[in-house]
Amino acid sequence: MPIFKALTIAGSDSGGGAGIQADLKTFQELGVYGMSAITAVTAQNTLGVQGVYPMSVEAIERQLASIGEDLSPDAIKTGMLFNGEIIQVVAASIHKFKWNHVVVDPVMIAKGGASLLLQEAIDTMIRVLLPLASVVTPNIPEAEVLSGMRITDEGSRMQAAKRIHQYGCKHVMIKGGHDEGDAEQATDLLYDGETFTSFTSRRLTTRHTHGTGCTFAASITSGLAQGLSMQESLKLAKRFIQAAISDPLDIGGGHGPTNHWAYQRRQRENMDRAAENAMLLHERTPSAKEEVTNEVHFEIRGGR
């Protein structure tokens, strides 16, 4: 049985809700062996970020070399990169080790408002890192920065996706969590250079959303590491994050973390229901058996 491996290149969150902690939890829950290269250490909790301490370029380069020389990740995720020098060394390592399936989460601002990417590093990200991305996953504020335009409706979001795609990335996924125009649904928009695809889910109202962006991108990375297509990986990510947000962990006094255990628990519950339905097969007519069989398959796929 193959062992799928994923690497997260991001900051450490002492509160455990975002950053490499969220990424590694996601990898583990989705059956992927997780590795990490720490770009910065942050002092933070659910109330906000109290300190940001970037690692030296030498330390980051050595971490990436140690992984690249031995462990060969199947997919890469980048998160908090903080400054232009770090972005340069990450891009150089991607080139050097010929890493594929690169998911760029362009982390700029923490949930509490702290800056996690220096202003002068944005141009470096656009020029150096985005051309290497299999997919870039900005939220609406991040997409506005990358595209240099305001996003006010679906049309402007599509235009922003086109602008970002011109930087050389293969796919652009602009997340819809910050779009308050629809109180019932949250719609993520994928652009592959030719076609737009929408991924819609029920909007969940909760203050416990710390680490959602990291977790979503790490879910995509997990799918790509296992050989799933981009579309399949995005569908997996939507299911995973929907479960994580709908059953949050009520800890801390601020923006609590999402629940990385929720997806697998929901899967187990679906399997239990499928098993119960299967038990009824022997008591049904042939036509009813077919109906129950379809129900079992539906539940095993995650009830979607």
Interval 7-52: pLDDT, tens: 999 999 999 999 999 999 999 999 999 999 999 999 999 898 999 9
**Torsion (CA) 124, 129, 130, 134 in degrees, nearest 10:** -170
Tokens 């947000």 correspond to: 245
Please give the span between the terminal C-alpha atoms of the chain, in angstroms, as a whole number: 27
Question: Comparing 253 with 248, which gets the higher pLDDT?
Answer: 253
Catalogue the active-site residues: 175, 209, 211-214
- pLDDT per residue over 52-65, tens digit each? 999 999 999 999 99
What Å distances lie between residue 13 and 10, 41, 79, 300, CA to CA? 9, 7, 12, 34
Tell me if the domain spanning 5-257 has CATH number 3.40.1190.20: yes
Span 153-158, average pLDDT: 93
Q: Which amino acid is at 165?
A: H
Question: Comparing 47 with 269, which gets the higher pLDDT?
Answer: 47
Span 142-146, average pLDDT: 95
Tokens 């993520």 correspond to: 188
CB 252 within 8 A of CB 15: yes
At 53 the pLDDT is 95
Instruction: Quote the CA–CA distance of 286 and 295 in Å, as a whole number.
Output: 14
Q: Which amino acid is at 135?
A: V
What residue ranges of the chain are covered by domains with CATH 3.40.1190.20?
5-257
Confidence of residue 294 (pLDDT cuts 50, 70, 90): low
The interaxial angle of helices 212-225 and 19-29, nearest 10 deg, is 40
Average pLDDT, the chain: 87
What Å distances lie between residue 195 and 156, 263, 266, CA to CA? 16, 29, 32
What Å distances lie between residue 264 and 26, 29, 203, 277, 302, CA to CA? 11, 7, 21, 20, 10
CB 90 within 8 A of CB 9: yes
Instruction: Quote the CA–CA distance of 157 and 240 in Å, as a whole number.
Output: 24
Q: Is 51 helix (H, G, I), strand (E, B) or coil?
A: strand
For 205, residues 6+ apart whose C-beta sits below 8 A from its C-beta are: none
Instruction: Quote the CA–CA distance of 77 and 132 in Å, as a whole number.
Output: 12
Tokens 């994928």 correspond to: 190
At 304 the pLDDT is 46
CB 106 within 8 A of CB 214: no
Instruction: Quote the CA–CA distance of 169 and 165 in Å, as a whole number.
Output: 6
Structure tokens at 196: 């737009």
At 207 the pLDDT is 73
For 187, residues 6+ apart whose C-beta sits below 8 A from its C-beta are: 176, 179, 198, 199, 200, 201
Q: Which amino acid is at 22?
A: A
Least confident of 11-25, 78-92, 114-128: 114-128
Backbone angles phi, psi at 162, to 5 degrees: -65, -40
